[in-house]
Chains A and B, each alone.
Chain A
């Protein structure tokens, strides 16, 4: 706990860190509180379509008269939830695979690295289209495909760390004392790998948010009536002659969310992993 407070203080001690934290808190508050102060995001009111921002609808309405505050905040909540879920799943799976590969070495290491290379060889959007064609659209498919894309990133980092640790004397000593490999992994590898993985995870959050918005913009992400920042931008874009605010609002929220997460991730990297931060 004290380490977390120490990290928070360090983040707040620099301008970018403060800005990232402020943006992230604002977006979290918007995602959590927005739906509480606005109507049902899926209720249609055809007569009120394209209503300008006002008392009844603080951010106006879309082409079917749905409240934009509600839809944008629900879309933001959806994007954040997916981003956190994907980053957690891929970092856990990727770390475990990477550590196993790094510790085992030999053919296991070569096989894992080859699989990572294969996955990385596909451009993420092309891979996404292929998987969507196979498994259909929807949140589950999205989580699955982005997780698949991100696992190699975490895996490579964990593997590299594990290979470095493997030859250190204290690990050698534990092996000589016949300590069970699982115990060594839990006691030494995981704590040493966690720092960079957390940094990488925080850096990947905005990437997932933007990726989800891109897929939804193209019609392959969240399906109606649910809203996402990508569908809101797309719907607003096609109706830009009738009303500009749906696009601007959703784009602004997306920009703040990704910028906040990026700045916060960078600040976290400087705090947790100053060596790599200095190398940028």
Chain B
């Protein structure tokens, strides 16, 4: 084919080229299903062994729970359950809705599936290994099947936390017994549910697609045909993508707030955080086993500079594990303001000099900024820090198979839930080798955790959790940084939905504004 380049062809071609960059805006305007960003990829889709919030959010939208959190609230209504009747403080009868079908041809949900799903938390997985999130269901003693759709939950003791962080949440996901047994280890990457959505596609480190489940029989039908989640570990990158109209919803860092406020067709969402980011110190590792060295590190680090430098001063400083507003917040927790002389004195008392440690963190901009401030702070007291920034997949894989044993100092961002026991469980001795990266082992702490689970009286629970935080403080295994603040931008046509912590997203309730 021959093409003649005359003036008219040239002008037409140039016009087409000039319009091309705006084509994506046209596509964005025409988009009817949202594309959103998540900073962490799927790690493990087994509800009891999930890694973090990404899986939790997917599991809640794909699987049914007996009761489901209402949109944006901590109250719940029936989902898989037709009825739940409280017999006593420790006994509950449930009846399932009939005709709730598992995807993939795995049949109808029955009370057997509920028993199977919950028994895993009591008895462990098929090899008897304790599930990572077993403590979410700690209060559950047994599940008895009384009919095809009916059963009884019996608790070991009255529990305030069981419904809030267990049965309502991802841990309470009802799995297909047949599918789970058939899939074996593949349940880490395959999610069979009966909920409002299905996980239609997952391309690791790239994206996943959640689609509306046409066979869902419950009351909460998904509003969108599909939601695409792009895995973008760096908030600053996802924010740039949002500005380029490639995304409809993303979290962003505090230092972008002014820019976000100036964006057209955008809502800025600001949710005070209840999460906790801290520097975990491995108390078993070399010189870090010395309390004085840990104390020196705590005095040497300038948390206020971290808040200003890494978080642009947009978030407040944390003093302890439980955020203000949560049951058990230790309001009078001591504040350790930087004191280089004290740090040097402690190092000299410990007889330590020329120490070198590795500081492990995620490789996003905020974590790297924290790491570099810590590096500079500790250099002033003679401690050399080598930064080991890891991508999120490798970083969160440290929570399995004792991979955390060689960590020294680690910047750890964890998500909170609304019962303090969810936060304290990660510091138990049983979590060493899993999520207790400090490897701190305190029988007293463990005992108090159990007491907290078994106590219903609010004032007593408050006392218990404050005591636990005092023990953590004495251990100097954690240097608290911030409870965070959640910033999101979303296109005005989209109405996202999340629970009040800002981290538990309810994909099934995402809707058009």
Residues of chain A touching chain B, judged by Cβ–Cβ distance below 8 Å, are 42-44, 46-47, 49, 63-65, 219, 223-225, 235, 237-242
CB-based nearest A residue for B306: A46
B363 neighbours in A (Cβ, 8 Å): 219
Tell me if B365 is interfacial: C-beta within 8 Å of chain A.
Answer: yes
Q: Are B372 and A224 in contact (CB under 8 A)?
A: yes
A235 neighbours in B (Cβ, 8 Å): 365
Pick from B236, B237, B371: contact of A224, CB below 8 A: B371
Pick from B234, B236, B255, B387: contact of A223, CB below 8 A: B387
Q: Would you give the shortest CB distance from B50 to chain A, in whole angstroms?
A: 26
Q: Are B305 and A241 in contact (CB under 8 A)?
A: no
Q: Would you give the shortest CB distance from B130 to chain A, in whole angstroms?
A: 31
Q: How distant is the Cα of A238 from the Cα of B237 in the complex, in angstroms?
A: 7
Q: Would you give the shortest CB distance from B372 to chain A, in whole angstroms?
A: 5
Interface SS of chain A: helix, strand, loop or mixed?
Answer: loop
Q: Are B386 and A223 in contact (CB under 8 A)?
A: yes
Q: Are B308 and A238 in contact (CB under 8 A)?
A: no
Pick from B305, B308, B375: contact of A225, CB below 8 A: B375
Q: Are B372 and A64 in contact (CB under 8 A)?
A: yes
Q: Give the size of the chain B interface in residues (CB under 8 angstroms).
A: 23
Q: Would you give the shortest CB distance from A126 to chain B, in whole angstroms?
A: 16
Pick from A224, A237, A241: contact of B256, CB below 8 A: A241
Report how many A-B pairs have Cβ atoms within 8 Å. Answer: 50
Interchain residue pairs with CB less than 8 A apart (16): A43-B376, A44-B372, A46-B308, A63-B255, A219-B363, A223-B387, A224-B371, A225-B372, A225-B376, A238-B236, A239-B255, A239-B365, A240-B240, A241-B256, A242-B255, A242-B256
Q: Are B365 and A64 in contact (CB under 8 A)?
A: no
B308 neighbours in A (Cβ, 8 Å): 46-47, 49
As a 0/1 sequence over residues 30 to 59 of chain B, the CB contacts with chain A under 8 angstroms (1 = contact) are 000000000000000000000000000000
A224 neighbours in B (Cβ, 8 Å): 368, 371-372, 375, 387
Interface SS of chain B: helix, strand, loop or mixed?
Answer: helix
Instruction: Decide: A44 near B373, CB < 8 A? Known: A219-B363, A224-B368.
Output: yes
Q: Are B305 and A44 in contact (CB under 8 A)?
A: yes
Q: Would you give the shortest CB distance from A217 to chain B, in whole angstroms?
A: 12
Q: Would you give the shortest CB distance from B135 to chain A, in whole angstroms?
A: 35
Q: Are B259 and A238 in contact (CB under 8 A)?
A: no
A49 neighbours in B (Cβ, 8 Å): 308-309
Q: How distant is the Cα of A238 from the Cα of B240 in the complex, in angstroms?
A: 9
Q: Would you give the shortest CB distance from B65 to chain A, in whole angstroms?
A: 38
B256 neighbours in A (Cβ, 8 Å): 241-242
Q: Are B375 and A219 in contact (CB under 8 A)?
A: no
Q: Would you give the shortest CB distance from A99 to chain B, in whole angstroms?
A: 40
Tell me if B84 is interfacial: C-beta within 8 Å of chain A.
Answer: no
Q: How distant is the Cα of A240 from the Cα of B373 in the complex, in angstroms?
A: 21
B387 neighbours in A (Cβ, 8 Å): 223-224
Q: How distant is the Cα of A238 from the Cα of B386 in the complex, in angstroms?
A: 22
Q: Are B389 and A219 in contact (CB under 8 A)?
A: yes
As a 0/1 sequence over residues 240 to 273 of chain B, the CB contacts with chain A under 8 angstroms (1 = contact) are 1000000000000001100100000000000000
Q: Would you give the shortest CB distance from A247 to chain B, in whole angstroms?
A: 12
Q: Would you give the shortest CB distance from A222 to chain B, in whole angstroms?
A: 11
B327 neighbours in A (Cβ, 8 Å): none
CB-based nearest B residue for A63: B369
A240 neighbours in B (Cβ, 8 Å): 240
Q: Would you give the shortest CB distance from B252 to chain A, in whole angstroms?
A: 10
Q: Would you give the shortest CB distance from B495 to chain A, in whole angstroms?
A: 26
